[in-house]
Chain A
């Protein structure tokens, strides 16, 4: 009976070790506390050192190890080290930012620079409401490192400061300029004699031709269906103007059920109804759907401008991916066809309790220097938020089309930020609604209802801090 006794005992032990319930508790709330500036590194401010960096202070940088890798950051760190040879730089890269860093925030000893990005990103709403982020205002006013006569702010692309600001304080530096649009292969289209359509009716007609040719017109990341919310909301904004986005960001009642959103949802429902979407797409994740698209199984895909570097390994030579704005619904559109969603993305932050806040800001100044920005473009084929960073650099094909699309869009460019304010709304609630809508299980009206319900639940949640923007 001995063996059974052991089994019995281990069963009892199993009870106490109830899976996962104890997981959260591992991080105690007791550590840290408000120690103020104790132990913070500070140097003397001067013309050469406008941020007051202590030149021998160590700097710890944590990079999100995703589509861009970590090599670009190592190059930036080397540039920092060149200016401050006595500074010791501690570099690390992880795909799980929140899990890795949460205990250190609680403990009051966070790193100096954090690239808070990816699926394991820390929700900015919580970070801002807990005053966990350092104000980057000083950085904006500091002179640019290698563009004489200009401040750092002067060198940034428009919209960079706005997107990283919460209640008027600039807290998050979004380092890359991302364009969201509809992508196709120039080669595939040239081979078949197709031409990308500028109006919605032409787009549907083209989808019909593509389908007749035996290729699925569309595919999307079924596991992350929010990718499809981007063109849909873009269509609505182009129809109804930027106020459509403003209402959504400000959680206004029935913002998701505005006329523009209704018309846009009805329009997009066409590609679902007419079965223009690659079979099985609802079960594909972003990588799988993008790869199916690269293999020529589908003609269009919605994505941001990181697509080209993300797909580098599987894109066939000569594929020549190109981005295009969402088609216009008609002559009633408030914004022209060329208008495209562009925004600063890839967030970097300096925790308020970092020991070397000045060093963190200085590191940002290095990233935002012309040299730092150009090096980034060369390494990862993406646009940084620094104006003119692409001058004199041979751009890969897709990025070339991104730059052209941005130029054409000009001052008609638009953006929304509810996804930054309320991460859960986009990542969970709108995401789920998109999944139902684009797999054809719910109607456009039900889709908007579900999104609105999600937005309302955030608006009513008193534990979530609310932000408003005015333009």
Chain B
């Protein structure tokens, strides 16, 4: 068998590695190189400018404004999404009250699970357009409902006080379903007898969630955290389609800044690459930090 292993490994490993190298790694390396040039994107000519793009970046108020919004997303989206996800998942797996042992889900669990997953099936573009219509000030569902009960009808995406939070809400909405399913599956793997034991000891459902479920799900939560943190540093598609960063840059995010600098109102590809490189390091550090701070001892059931 020994001598047969090498060709096997090569045939299975080389093609994906080559693809990864060509389509993922090489563009990354190139982005680093382009970020040190003044390339304008429509000719092959690009002169090296050293770190000039990064110096401009440090003093670019629009970039900092976008970063501030990404920071808010980073602080809010993972917490709210994971919180809601955990809450719904535990209701679906152990929120039921009819069983004496108390470890069944609420009535209609399977239906809920399906419904929560719906947004995951839709493409992000469709979600953005759908919500853009819901938020529409004159003909939108939201203002229609508010009008019906006689409340004020703001311009939502047209108002800098709300626009960013409207997008943030959609981001949470579109993500929660996936984490409900993810956490639900992880909860199924927790042995029932642990719950039965604590229930016998008279623990409330909140204590159960806090002391048993969350510690046992910690690995999964950690992964969710990293995913969501990365998503929060992006947010490009939703923002571009729903507000294009407006009004008055109030909902701008760093990804949109990069896009606008290259394909939008300007074509400074060198500078946009510098933004991309900055984004790369930001995302990397956030992910590493998330992994570090969330590290705990792993619990084995058996």
Contacts and interface: CB of A to CB of B under 8 A. Distances in A.
Contacts of B76: none
B258 A20 contact: yes
Interface of A: 1, 3-4, 7-8, 11, 14-34, 98-99, 102, 105-106, 108, 120, 122-123, 125-127, 129-132, 222-223, 225, 278-284, 288, 292, 297, 423-424, 427-428, 431-433, 435-436, 439, 441, 463-464
A28 to B, nearest CB: 6
A282 B265 contact: no
Contacts of A108: 44
17 contacts: A3-B189, A15-B287, A21-B276, A22-B27, A23-B259, A24-B262, A24-B269, A24-B276, A29-B34, A129-B40, A222-B247, A280-B137, A282-B155, A282-B247, A283-B157, A297-B138, A432-B246
Interface stretch (B3-11, B195-203, B226-234): B226-234
B30 A25 contact: yes
Contact of B42 (A7, A106, A223, A435): A106
Instruction: Name the 4 nearest CB pairs between A and B, nearest first.
Output: A280-B137, A283-B158, A282-B158, A25-B27
A173 to B, nearest CB: 18
A18 B267 contact: no
A7 B273 CA distance: 30
B80 interface: no
Interface of B: 24, 26-31, 34, 37-46, 135-139, 143, 153, 155-160, 189, 219-220, 223, 226-227, 230-231, 233-234, 236, 243-244, 246-249, 255, 258-260, 262-269, 271-273, 276-277, 279-280, 283-284, 287, 298, 300
Contact of B138 (A26, A32, A292, A427): A292
A126 B29 CA distance: 25
B138 A288 contact: yes
A435 B246 contact: yes
A4 B26 CA distance: 30
Nearest to B133: A288
A443 B34 CA distance: 42
A1 B31 CA distance: 37
Given A22-B28, A25-B273, A11 B226 contact: yes
A14 B227 CA distance: 7
A123 B30 contact: no
Most buried by B among A8, A14, A16, A280: A280
B272 A29 contact: no
A8 B30 CA distance: 28
A108 B265 CA distance: 23
B297 to A, nearest CB: 13
Nearest to A222: B158
A463 B19 CA distance: 36
A82 B280 CA distance: 54
A433 B170 CA distance: 27
B28 A21 contact: yes
Contacts of B136: 280, 283-284, 288
Given A4-B220, A21-B283, A424-B266, A436 B247 contact: yes
Given A126-B267, A283-B137, A284-B138, A131 B43 contact: yes
A185 B68 CA distance: 45
Given A7-B220, A24-B34, A30 B40 contact: no
A130 B40 contact: yes
A122 B267 contact: yes
Contacts of A19: 230-231, 233-234, 236, 255
A410 B273 CA distance: 48
A15 B265 contact: no
A33 B45 CA distance: 8
B266 A126 contact: yes
A24 B273 contact: yes
Nearest to B300: A1
Contacts of B279: 18, 20-21
B164 to A, nearest CB: 14
Contacts of A125: 266
Contacts of B231: 19
Contact of A123 (B244, B266, B272, B284): B266
Nearest to A280: B137
B24 A22 contact: yes
Contacts of A29: 30, 34, 37, 39, 44, 46
Nearest to B160: A441
Contact of A15 (B220, B255, B277, B284): B284
A276 B189 CA distance: 62
A348 to B, nearest CB: 17
Given A106-B43, A288-B136, A123 B265 contact: yes
B249 A280 contact: no
A464 B40 CA distance: 10
Contacts of A23: 258-259, 276
Contacts of A292: 138
A432 B143 contact: no
Contacts of B226: 11, 14-15
Given A25-B28, A439-B247, A11 B43 contact: no
A11 B227 contact: yes
A20 to B, nearest CB: 5
A19 B223 CA distance: 17
